[in-house]
Chains A and B, each alone.
Chain A
Amino acid sequence: DAGVTQSPTHLIKTRGQQVTLRCSPKSGHDTVSWYQQALGQGPQFIFQYYEEEERQRGNFPDRFSGHQFPNYSSELNVNALLLGDSALYLCASSLDGTIDEQYFGPGTRLTVT
């Protein structure tokens, strides 16, 4: 058990709706990264949060946004959901903004109908 927790485990939404996913990092970690994993593909980087700010973003539209709280937990928000947003969303935590030792949570499975 890596210690990263995500909620909810599964989620079903309708096209056009908005969704919020939550992540609690491993104890002692202050950096949170979010990844999207489509079926049969490797995880794709969405963005990273460190010191409550977005430090780097992957190739994802502005419909994807996030937040990091003072306790280092994080939220991923997706607006105007598309069918193509159906995926496993993974949260990973690490220390001091580095990713050399990055621990992943079990993910949230989002289905958009």
Chain B
Amino acid sequence: DAKTTQPPSMDCAEGRAANLPCNHSTISGNEYVYWYRQIHSQGPQYIIHGLKNNETNEMASLIITEDRKSSTLILPHATLRDTAVYYCIVRVAGSGYALNFGKGTSLLVTP
């Protein structure tokens, strides 16, 4: 699996968009970008994943650059409940046995 780089922490004001970046410059053509988050004292929660096209669901949007070397997770209207650690993971869909979590980005949403 390709290695990912995320900033250790970010702040966002409540109601504003939170844009969480992830670098994955060694990503292979068949590797997807997955995002999970972990709210304090809970297990990780799947958010979204994509290959090369932008994706959107009820939780967030995923923007992947054309060269696929980086991506951004967008929470369009952040709430206090979005305060969590966000993990960007790159892997081949349908393969492997484990999710390789790094340290992620700790997002603090403030009132």
Which A residues have a C-beta under 8 Å from some C-beta of B? 2, 4, 33, 35, 40-45, 48, 55-56, 58, 90-92, 98-107
Contacts and interface: CB of A to CB of B under 8 A. Distances in A.
Given A42-B87, A99-B96, A100-B94, A2 B101 contact: no
A43 B42 contact: no
Contact of B103 (A42, A58, A104, A105): A42
A45 B94 CA distance: 17
Given A48-B98, A56-B97, A56-B98, A101 B46 contact: yes
B100 interface: yes
A97 B31 CA distance: 19
A104 B98 contact: no
Contacts of A107: 41-43
A81 B40 CA distance: 25
Interface in B12-49: 41-46
B46 A44 contact: no
Interface string B81-109: 00001010000011011111111100000
Contacts of B42: 104, 106-107
Contact of A2 (B43, B98, B99): B43
Contacts of B46: 101-103
A58 B44 CA distance: 18
B43 A42 contact: no
Contacts of B85: 42
Contacts of B100: 45
Interface in B55-104: 85, 87, 93-94, 96-104
B99 A105 contact: no
Contact of B93 (A4, A42, A100): A100
